[in-house]
Amino acid sequence: MEKKENIKKDIFVKLSSIKNLPVMPDLAIDLMGYTIDDDTSIKELSAIISRDPALAAQILKVANSSFYALKRQVGSLEKAIIILGLREIKNLIFTLSIIKLFPKETNFCFDKVDFLKHSLITARTSDILTKKLQLKFEVSPFLAGLLHDIGKIFLDQNFHHEYNAIIEEAKKYNKNIFEVESSELGTDHAYIGSHIANVWNFPQELIDAIKFHHCIDKSNDNILLICVISISNLLSNLRNNWLVFPKYEVDFFDLTEWKILERNKMIEDFDIEKIIFEIDDEFKKSEDIANLYKGNYL
């Protein structure tokens, strides 16, 4: 008990010092509230991206990769934005920004590519689910999905030894990691992630989506985005099986999250099975995108 209290105290001491937290690039923060839909915006966006030449070069590299199968190589940012589309570019910038948060040359308790894959699949699924259900959020559901497990990076980097033990315990005894974290640390990656998002001055909607993605019943506000992130996380787990214990079949159709979404539905045809079936097509694409980053940026 005392050990748990001590480690909880240590976690909050580390969290309270900004130097221990990952730094979100300014560009991603600027882009968060930026909606764009015409030609002038393309110019504006490319001017913003050009502030970070390394990022601009990476965007061109990704745009010219075989994944997008462009007929001709793209040489300018403006062309890349026109071809890939504003939404894709914005999501690409968020993804590259998150990859920047991964410290290089350190041992992780988990596979970095698997982490990225899980985050990316959750992000893309959140984006697609939002579109399919015709929901509107103030924040990017893609960014919320991408960051939902950011607390795991903090734990890995600052409490590597302890976090390794937590993962091992979950594996060995087939327990849920979130629950092992709570019982061993007195806190969990979702709470820690929400604290980091708060320090980054992110909107409350995004903070809540991170904080409650494993415990929707504890939330009061911003419930629809939490539902989207929670369902996308579970779908991503079902597909990717990354650090998922115990290995059980989730009764997916019976989730509280679906019931809440259905109660607030914006579309007539709210058929869960059909929605999942359509999203499934996108999984392969998300995995391909994650593989694209492998070797290049990780």
Residues lying near Fe ion in the complex (CB under 5 A):
149, 233
Nearer to Fe ion, 194 or 233 (CB): 233
Nearer to Fe ion, 56 or 207 (CB): 207
Query: How many Å apart are CA 11 and CA 29, to the nearest integer?
Result: 25
Nearer to Fe ion, 95 or 233 (CB): 233
For the bound state, the minimum distance from the C-beta of residue 145 to Fe ion, rounded and expressed in Å, comes to 9
Alpha-carbon separation of residue 179 from 15, 189, 234 (angstroms): 20, 10, 16
Tokens in use for 89? 């570019």
For the bound state, the minimum distance from the C-beta of residue 8 to Fe ion, rounded and expressed in Å, comes to 19
Query: How many Å apart are CA 296 and CA 220, to the nearest integer?
Result: 41
For the bound state, the minimum distance from the C-beta of residue 245 to Fe ion, rounded and expressed in Å, comes to 13
Nearer to Fe ion, 52 or 181 (CB): 181
CA nearest to 120, candidates 239, 249, 222, 277: 239
For the bound state, the minimum distance from the C-beta of residue 83 to Fe ion, rounded and expressed in Å, comes to 31
Q: Exposure string (b/e) for 136-171, b if CB count within 10 Å is 16 or more? A: ebebbbbbbbbbbbbbbbbbbbbbeebbbebbebbe
Nearer to Fe ion, 44 or 280 (CB): 280
For the bound state, the minimum distance from the C-beta of residue 268 to Fe ion, rounded and expressed in Å, comes to 31
For the bound state, the minimum distance from the C-beta of residue 229 to Fe ion, rounded and expressed in Å, comes to 9
AA letter at 90: K
DSSP 109-154: SS-HHHHHHHHHHHHHHHHHHHHHTT---SS-HHHHHHHTTHHHHH
Nearer to Fe ion, 127 or 149 (CB): 149
Please calculate the CA angle 267-122-228 and round it to the nearest 5 degrees.
Answer: 35
For the bound state, the minimum distance from the C-beta of residue 235 to Fe ion, rounded and expressed in Å, comes to 10
Alpha-carbon separation of residue 135 from 1, 159, 234 (angstroms): 44, 38, 19
Q: Determine contact, residues 90/83, Cβ cutoff 8 Å.
A: no
Nearer to Fe ion, 52 or 149 (CB): 149
